[in-house]
Amino acid sequence: MELTEPLQFDHEDRRDIYEYIESHGSVEPRAARTSLQMDPRPFGHHVAILKRDGVLAEIDGELRIAYNDTVEEEFEADDIEFTIRQARQEDLTGLVGAIRAAIGGGEYVDAETVADVVDSEGVLLRHNELESRIFFVACIDDDVVGWVHLKHPEVEKLSHTAELTLGVLDRYRGHGIGSQLLARGTEWAASNGYEKLYNSVPSTNEDAIEFLEGHGWDTEAVREDHYKFGDEYADEVMMEIDL
């Protein structure tokens, strides 16, 4: 299923099954059926149709949302080998940890918010009537060392835009991992019909601003004294790139 596809179901029970799986991230079929109080035969039929239509997938005995982007890219730079792929539900703990470690002193407020939301919900991927989000991760030996996250509200007037956040663990910066993550996220957004990406950072996060500018991003607006760190204020630098 494409993240940009509108949600359409021709049976109420299929919508109920999808919404339950979407809200939990990954669920064993019997547990889902029991929670939804469905009989085995109709539940199995509806799940089969949802699988057939590419809406759900069953991986390692659990149901989850199915997405088409399954490409895993391999890279090598400065004797460091890493892969970039779409994040999986089982990456949640490592991804949240990587985000919290990468933002360090809290100068990346949007990323900190993403970590808090994902951690509290316990779900990585989202595609419902309110919002959609997807992550790609950079991994070394299956450990998450960086991420790119795209989110967009399911609002028609904003359907051409998405918010992007990005980060790499400090130890692995300077090896092109961030650039490859940004490229993967940007390519995914462009191929899925988005026209503009946004990223907002405090003016104190000079490294992030310089990184994005070096990849063709522009400052669209500045909100003065938008952030407050202790007793110090910082501007919000609102950056964007047209795809």
More confident residue, 44 or 68: 44
Residue 2 reports pLDDT greater than 60: no
How large a percentage of the chain has pLDDT more than 90?
47
How far is residue 208's CA from residue 103's CA, in Å, rounded to a whole number? Answer: 11
Residue 191 reports pLDDT greater than 90: no
Residue 103 reports pLDDT greater than 90: no
Q: Which candidate, 93, 94, 95, 111, places its Cα nearest to that of 103?
A: 111
Judge contact between 138 and 181, C-beta under 8 A: yes
User: Which token pair is 90?
Assistant: 């089982």
More confident residue, 185 or 128: 185
Residue 109 reports pLDDT greater than 80: no
Taking residues 19-25, report their average pLDDT.
Answer: 87
Dihedral angle computed from the Cα positions of residues 28, 30, 34 and 40, in that order, rounded to the nearest 10 degrees = 140
Q: How confident is the model at residue 237 (pLDDT cuts 50, 70, 90)?
A: very high
- Residue 8 confidence (pLDDT): 77
How large a percentage of the chain has pLDDT more than 70?
92
Taking residues 175-199, report their average pLDDT.
Answer: 93
More confident residue, 157 or 100: 100
SS3 114: helix
Axis-axis angle for helices 40-52, 29-36 (nearest 10): 120
Q: Find where tokens 């004797």 sit.
A: 79
Taking residues 68-81, report their average pLDDT.
Answer: 85
Report all structural domains of the chain as residue ranges with CATH numbers, in order of start: 10-63 (1.10.10.10), 71-240 (3.40.630.30)
Q: How confident is the model at residue 192 (pLDDT cuts 50, 70, 90)?
A: confident
Mean pLDDT of all residues in the chain?
87
Out of 111-120, 153-162, 200-209, which region has the weakest mean confidence (pLDDT)?
153-162
Residue 129 reports pLDDT greater than 80: no
User: Which token pair is 43?
Assistant: 């539940």
- Residue 228 confidence (pLDDT): 85
- Residue 193 confidence (pLDDT): 86
Strand partners, 197: 162, 241
Taking residues 3-11, report their average pLDDT.
Answer: 72
